[in-house]
């Protein structure tokens, strides 16, 4: 079941947040088997004001355990933590590749590869050989030109 864990920072915890950032990141790496998506909430100027996590766990108690074991929670970084069950209604994993583009650091490493491997391959619209007739005349036809069903049947009978 999916749960949204919404954490809002307490006032004046910047120094505590900085001190506990490395253990917090290590904790999240260790929880990647249940963490669907998560990250810091900012005020628009890259100043963190909280965190939001979507976790896939069995029940609410497991979501509460995830929150309680976070080093930020035990250090007092979060003033309030709200855990809400959610249903997946609009799920578009195909748009997740945009996160790689907009959230990657600037520079040559941020450019997408020319061939995107996270998208399904394009479907071929036509082939050089017609599925109706695989005879020698089919391979001499110009690409994209179709043969009528009667001509294809006549071609196949002539072999």
Instruction: Tell me, yes or no, whether 78 and 141 share the same domain.
Output: no
Helices (H), 34-157: 60-68, 71-75, 97-102, 136-140, 149-157
Residue 156: give the domain boundaries.
129-159
Q: Tell me: the pLDDT tens digits for 111-149?
A: 455 555 566 666 666 555 555 555 555 555 555 566 666
Backbone angles phi, psi at 146, to 5 degrees: -100, 155
Other Cβ atoms less than 10 A from the Cβ of 51: the count is 23
Of all residues in the chain, the percent with pLDDT exceeding 90 is 50
Helix (H/G/I), strand (E/B), else coil: 146: coil
pTM: 0.59
| Residue 53 maps to a domain | yes
CATH number, domain at 83?
3.30.70.1060
Residue 147 lies in a domain: yes
Quote the CA–CA distance of 156 and 159 in Å, as a whole number.
6
Same domain, 83 and 150: no
pLDDT in tens, 38-61: 999 998 888 899 999 999 999 999
**Which of 88, 106, 121 is the C-terminal boundary of a domain?**
88
- Same domain for 133 and 84, yes or no, is no
């Amino acid at each position: 079941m999916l749960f949204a864990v919404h954490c809002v920072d307490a006032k004046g915890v910047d120094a505590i947040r900085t001190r506990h950032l490395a253990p917090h990141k290590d904790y999240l790496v260790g929880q990647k088997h249940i963490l669907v998506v998560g990250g810091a909430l900012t005020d628009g100027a890259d100043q963190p004001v909280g965190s939001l996590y979507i976790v896939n766990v069995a029940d609410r108690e497991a979501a509460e355990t995830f929150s309680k074991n976070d080093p930020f929670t035990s250090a007092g970084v979060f003033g309030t933590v709200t855990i809400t069950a959610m249903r997946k209604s609009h799920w578009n994993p195909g748009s997740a590749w945009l996160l790689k583009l907009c959230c990657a650091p600037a520079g040559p490493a941020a450019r997408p590869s020319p061939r995107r491997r996270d998208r399904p391959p394009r479907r071929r619209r036509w082939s050089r050989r017609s599925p109706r007739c695989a005879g020698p005349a089919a391979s001499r036809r110009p690409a994209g030109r179709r043969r009528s069903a009667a001509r294809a049947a006549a071609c196949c009978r002539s072999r």
